[in-house]
Amino acid sequence: MKELNRDTYLIALSHIQDVSTKTVNGILKEFGSEAGAYANFFELTADEMLSKHNIPIEEAVKIAEFKSQLPNFAFLNDNLVNQGFTMVAASDSNYPANLINNLGYDRTPSILYLKGDIEIFKEQCIAIVGSRDANEDDLNYTALLSKKATQEFKVVVSGFAKGVDKKALDSALELNGKSILVLPQGILTFKSGINEYYKKILSGDVLILSTFYPTAPWLVKLAMARNAYIYGLAGEIYIPKTNDSGGTWAGATSGIKKGRKVYVRYLDGKLPANLKLIELGAIPLDEEGDEIKGFVRGGKVNPKKKKNIKPPYEEGNLFEN
């Protein structure tokens, strides 16, 4: 029998209130794509879920209560598939490895809702994100970074926000590059973008991705949460321009803390928030989009040490070499 109902269980589990991602991902790891195992699991009482599968009792109670709603999710699952969306679970082999490596298996989204070519995940991905209120110069620099990445056959991950995000996407596509759009909303509520990028989705150059409940509308808190997934999907993070608060900033600082490679435009220290990030440990980029080697804190470049010399990073810098 075709096991189309695995995703019904999966969608339902991923969106039960007050059940943690860790718990859901644990269940996914245990059962994989075995629909029958999920069916048996839902037959259990909360106590049995605790004793047999180690589910914390408060969460087990929620899951057991949710059982009667499962048939509803069959309708949702069916509708998503009929509209050409696909679902990938954290335990599936085609789930993006970057996300698990960067966020940790316990915190990576249990389910991804997608439209487009999921093979893109196998390619090298970089994130280009930044301020919504970017000026022309910021946008030109964004385009430069995006095109550079595209020429190196890297996939540009961005958030489909105004300003830097949108420019990064469009510049990559201009050179027939590939891009992943990470949505700040449920995939069923994203309409205009699918129309705009339809041909690029068809040609396999754009992949639309959402981690949220499919009918969720755009919300600020989802936009904030979404940034972590943009950073998570990418190997490296590029920031043409940031403010010293908001999603880009929050994502970048937390990335730096975790030892991620975060590249920021330096522009002779004229962008205050960018400079702050560099002070916190981001890697400065010159006007060609290349790393400024031998950069020292305080915003000065030591020209003598520019090439082939290990940069004198400050103590406490978490960058890996």
Partner 1 sequence: MNFSFNREVEEKRLKDIFGFSKFYDTQWDVISKVMSNKRILLIEKTGFGKSLCYQYPATCLPGLTIVISPLIALMRDQKKFLDKYIIPAATINSGQTPEENKEIIDKATRGEIKILYIAPERQGNTTWLENILNFNISFVVIDEAHCISTWGHDFRPYYRRIINLIDRFPANFPVLATTATATKRVQKDIEEQIGSSFSTIRGNLLRNNLYLNVLKVESEEEKFLWLAENISKLDGSGIIYTGTRANSELFSRWLNFHGVNTAFYNATLESEERIEIENGFMDNKFKCVVSTNALGMGIDKPDIRFIIHTQITQSPVHYYQEIGRAGRDGKPAKIILLYNPSKDSDLPLSFIESAKPDTNKYYKVIEALREERHTFTTLIKKVDLKQTVFRVIIADLIDMGIVVETIENKSKKYEIKFNAPGLNFDMHLKLKEAKLLEFGEMLFYANTQSCRMNFLCNYLGDNSADDCLICDNDLKIFEKVPANDSLAEKLSYFKENYFPEIIVESSGSNIVNGVAADFYGFSNTGQIIHKAKYENHAEFPETILFRLIAAFDSKFDVNEIDIVTVIPPTISGDIVANLAKQFSEKLGLKFSRDLVKTRVTQPQKVFQTNYNKNENIKNAFEFLNPGQILGKTVLLIDDVFDSGVTIKEAGRVLTRCGAAKIIPLTIAKTVTGVD
- We find the least distance from the C-beta atom of residue 198 to partner 1, in angstroms, to be 5
Which residues does 19 contact at the CB level (< 8 Å), separation at least 6?
Answer: 13, 59, 62, 63
- Residue 319: is it exposed, middle or buried by C-beta count within 10 angstroms (0-12/13-18/19+)? middle
Binding-site string for partner 1 from residue 292 to residue 311, where x marks contact by CB under 8 A and - marks none = --------------------
Residue 71 near partner 1 by CB under 8 A: yes
Complex with partner 1: residue 1 or 220, whichever CB lies closer: 1
User: How far apart, in whole angstroms, are the C-alpha atoms of residue 190 and residue 27?
Assistant: 29
Token representation of residue 31: 């059962």
Of 111-119, 169-177, 227-235, 298-306, the window that binds partner 1 (rule: CB under 8 A) is 111-119
Q: How many CB atoms lie within 10 A of CB 300?
A: 10
Q: Given candidates 101, 215, 257, 259, which one binds partner 1 under the rule CB under 8 A?
A: 215
Residue 68 near partner 1 by CB under 8 A: yes
| Alpha-carbon dihedral angle through residues 218, 144, 258, 283, given to the nearest 10 degrees | -150
User: How far apart, in whole angstroms, are the C-alpha atoms of residue 185 and residue 97?
Assistant: 23
Residue 35 near partner 1 by CB under 8 A: yes
Task: Find where tokens 């973008």 sit.
Answer: 193
User: How far apart, in whole angstroms, are the C-alpha atoms of residue 186 and residue 183?
Assistant: 7
Residue 112 near partner 1 by CB under 8 A: no
Complex with partner 1: residue 81 or 296, whichever CB lies closer: 81
Residue 161 near partner 1 by CB under 8 A: no
Task: Find where tokens 């709603």 sit.
Answer: 69
Q: Given candidates 51, 72, 101, 151, which one binds partner 1 under the rule CB under 8 A?
A: 72
Which residues does 99 contact at the CB level (< 8 Å), separation at least 6?
Answer: 108, 109, 229, 232, 233
Residue 312 near partner 1 by CB under 8 A: no
Residue 212 near partner 1 by CB under 8 A: no
Of 165, 60, 180, 160, whose CA–CA distance to 119 is shortest? 180
Q: Given candidates 20, 21, 39, 46, which one binds partner 1 under the rule CB under 8 A?
A: 39
- We find the least distance from the C-beta atom of residue 32 to partner 1, in angstroms, to be 16
Q: What residues between 188 and 207 interact with partner 1 by CB under 8 A?
A: 188, 191, 194-195, 198-199, 201-202, 204
Complex with partner 1: residue 135 or 215, whichever CB lies closer: 215
The count of chain residues that interact with partner 1, using the rule CB under 8 A, is 41
Complex with partner 1: residue 101 or 215, whichever CB lies closer: 215
Residue 73 near partner 1 by CB under 8 A: yes
User: How far apart, in whole angstroms, are the C-alpha atoms of residue 268 and residue 80?
Assistant: 49
Q: Taking a C-beta distance cutoff of 8 angstroms, is the pair 59, 19 a contact? A: yes
Of 193, 251, 245, 246, whose CA–CA distance to 227 is shortest? 251
Residue 218 near partner 1 by CB under 8 A: no
Residue 43 near partner 1 by CB under 8 A: yes
* Site residues, partner 1 (CB under 8 A): 1-2, 4-5, 7-9, 35-36, 39, 42-43, 68-79, 81-84, 115-117, 188, 191, 194-195, 198-199, 201-202, 204, 215
